[in-house]
Structure 1
């Protein structure tokens, strides 16, 4: 299956026309356009909101395949052609854009209470003081299977293609090109924002945008990106434990930045690696590691020794507050929840951050769509996070464990000397540790200016924007990236 603009050389075959007519009755509604204004630092900012969908078709038959939903916010009263456009994706795979949209970037955001999140939280939308609308127009895109996006084809191979690394990137590149063309924004500076797998996706998008859609990208802003899954496989490469250790220490120390973890980073990158590579047959190395890891993580030394001084995120999440019958979130080690089965030797549990915020964010997006965007979506459910998509995702040859986007990043930086990348991560993220990302990025050449790729570490976890400090830091770093072009 290939995705591109409709074939214009010849009329579509009759079966394609029938499929198009049938899809109109079950596709998404036409675009809704509304006008709004919010106050930012005392300044009134007027903007236009658009909620709609871009239809993707088979390039050969023009048979409809999917309607990809988007929400855009475009500032009023400013010449659009030179104004930056920011395309925003979440990750998963299977996560909708409301995480970044109502969590951090859009003109409105969900109110986040200071206490542990609750799925029964009543969604309240606030004007977002940290919105990026002040320095760029925003386009939030929900890949097929997420948000309100929907498949229009019942063929299994269509869904299978979309649920793959290459098919996903090719399809979303078409969506970006179609949005730019429809809005007359091909000359605007272009940026892509991606979180978690969305960071992987953002890097993978560069090649199809450049090579298939004739579109260049000025910059990437990656939030907690999964750049190389080999580093994220606990229990496999010894370096994965070294990459995680500073984040474990950040939780133990309630650290808010890298400056509080310099000693842990130095140990993790030197003595710890040396002893890890000696293996479990060296009792002196095991003893040294157990002592140091227990000290940095505030875990019981005997427990650390039983793990061979190789502490994974799940074990840490369970053991840190085990005596209090509580667990900590892997997505933000500073957030705790109750252990549903505290006396079991092992177990599974819903994450106190990821799983608790799903319902409020999904409900808030429904509220936004109905009350502010006025998009007549009816009783459609907003799919905030679909685990089925992640389970069925095709990572290509080698599978998930060997998937990486660093090679694509190398090629893009070498080819385009104007491309700049900012990577922002929370210090207490145990899912994609910031130190792993630092070690990965350290393998890149300077490409003439080492500042072309910057790592920013802030307070918080995998979604650092759930905290006021992290949300403000994201806005400030994004403004620097966009305005310095």
Structure 2
């Protein structure tokens, strides 16, 4: 039975395990495990208590005592047949007398195909990976420290890894692909959240979702799914590096939407690398205001006209695109006014033999040669964050959380491909409508959107466009709050941004906690 067509029944918590099985095919391997007194005696799933350990961390000058719990939520069909084991790491503050007043935030990253390690050990959890002030990786072996900017003082945290990421897997005999798609993922992750809430009695708590990148797509979908399927209403949704409408980021022939939406981030990148004219280098925000006005008006109109542009109009757009991107007029002409993100990454500093990052365009890399049309790799991913985060997580769960599992912890990979978008076949996925519906049915629901100026994966102006085209009513728009940072996709690797994000998170939780009445529509009086 396909997972999405079955209703999940119960949460079976599978704890400290060692997946000692012969792995003939890594891509098809399933975590078949059984633990008896700490020893693997079989290769079939078993129920065991999760592992809990006691810790403390100092946040905002206060010592926070907390319990870390790691283990599995087992998804099953209504007849009790196991389908998948979902790995989670939960942090709950000790000494809370009434958990109905204690917020809980369910957290995940994106990909699709990413574990939750980035938000877990980058910004929200009680430990964080040590990076430079800018966000450069340091020399291996890597390390992590107590995270004095953790959100744990404001909310309990549950980090969830979707199937085939982290330690999460389909059980033996079940196919991975039944979880690898937009609707399939929403159903399995939604039920994992429901099951955790059942098991740990958190239905009465203020509830939040926090996602990054495709995790924002997931969060928007979940806001509607949880509400409609289980009447599971949320207090807040946190969208970090948001992408809700895939059309805004797909450079397909005939889709001109991304070009004006990416332009402000091209400008911010050129500004950072000092490739703009002196007057544009003075103030980033002032320059972006000018570029956004151009993108909304002249540039969008020019793209709409297409080949009907006059020669004078065409040359005017060439001049301005060159001015705002730091690219030559000749190159802009070669693109026919349509600058692809990957080509921009390769072209901006080509004369110096450098490429710029996609996830974070502050970073540079060097390819084998300088003649390609796109970078060989993303210097802000493979050359910056992957190694430190992988080392930190794998050491941390074993040494401090006392959790043993010999499965490879899938940090970020392609085991989920191809991702099934059959629900939007022949069109672009746009979950903005799911979020709008959730906000319409729940007038208390708040949305916080965090954007990095140097994020070329999910540009801030594309996020603004999406929310401006969701059809939000005035009272709903009041429930949406944007914040901006001079950093990239994983904005928190930049230390000043990490500090500011913590301050902004504190404000969000405090403001929602004091909310007593929703924003409601008012009728006009004639």
TM-score between both structures, scaled by the size of structure 1 = 0.91
Q: How does 1:56-75 map to 2 (within 5 A)?
A: 56-59=75-78, 61-75=79-93
Which residue in the other structure is 2:365 paired with? 337
Contact 1:328 1:335 in 2 (8 A): yes
Which residue does 2:422 correspond to in 1?
Answer: 396
Specify the alignment match of 1:12 in structure 2: none
Q: What's the counterpart of residue 484 of structure 2?
A: 457
Looking at structure 2, the residues matched to 237 and 347 of structure 1 have their Cα atoms a distance apart, in angstroms, of 20
Partner of 1:41: 60
After superposition, give the CA deviation of every residue in 1:87-120 in whole Å (9 maximum; x if it has no partner): 1010001000001111111010000124774597
CA–CA separation in structure 2 for the residues paired with 1:232 and 1:205: 21
Cα distance in 2 for residues equivalent to 1:460 and 1:221: 18
Give per-residue Cα distances to partners, 1:274-299, cap 9 Å, x unaligned: 11212145222221111001101111
Bigger mean CA offset, 356-365 vs 309-318: 356-365
Show the counterpart of 1:484. Answer: 511
**1:470 counterpart = 2:497:** yes
Mapping of residues 181-330 of structure 1, within 5 Å:
181-235=198-252, 236-254=254-272, 258-282=285-309, 283-330=311-358
| Secondary structure of residue in 1 paired with 2:157 | strand
Structure 2 residue ranges without an equivalent (≥5): 12-31, 35-42, 273-280, 513-526
What corresponds to 2:411 in structure 1? 384
State the Cα distance separating 1:71 from its structure 2 match.
Answer: 0.5
Match of 2:7 in 1: 3
Q: Which runs of 5+ in 1 are unaligned?
A: 8-21
* CA–CA distance in structure 1, aligned partners of residues 474 and 172 of structure 2: 44
* Residue pairs, 1:73-222, within 5 angstroms: 73-79=91-97, 80-114=99-133, 117=136, 121-156=140-175, 159-222=176-239
Structure 1 contact 119–359 (Cα < 8 Å) conserved: no
What residue in structure 2 maps to residue 16 of structure 1? none
Check whether the contact 1:33–1:50 (CA below 8 A) recurs between aligned residues. Answer: yes
**DSSP-derived class of the 1:212 partner:** helix
CA separation of 1:115/1:464 partners in 2, compared to 1, >3 Å: closer, same or farther?
A: closer
Q: 2:437 aligns with which of 411, 436, 445?
A: 411
Change (3 A) 1:418 1:219: same
**Separation in structure 2 between the aligned mates of residue 172 and residue 31 of structure 1, nearest angstrom:** 19
Segment of structure 1 superposing worse, 112-121 or 243-252: 112-121
- Quote how far apart the aligned CAs of 1:399 are: 4.1
Report deviation, 1:483: 1.7
Contact 1:27 1:150 in 2 (8 A): no
**Aligned partners of 1:93 and 1:393 also within 8 Å:** yes
| Alignment pair present for 1:32 and 2:51 | yes
Change (3 A) 1:151 1:38: same
Count of matched residue pairs:
466
| 1:362 is the counterpart of 2:370 | no
8 Å CA contact 1:429, 1:461 repeated in 2? yes
Q: Secondary structure at the match of 2:266?
A: helix
Q: Distance in 2 between matches of 1:460 and 1:136?
A: 25
Q: Does 1:421 align with 2:473?
A: no
1:351 matches 2:378: yes
Instruction: Please give the root-mean-square deviation of Cα atoms over the aligned residues, in Å.
Output: 2.2
Partner of 2:458: 432
Runs of 4 or more above 3 Å deviation: 22-30, 114-121, 255-260, 397-401
Residue pair 2:355, 2:375 contacting (<8 A) in 1 also: no
TM-score (norm 2): 0.84
Structure 1 residue 228 displacement after superposition:
0.4
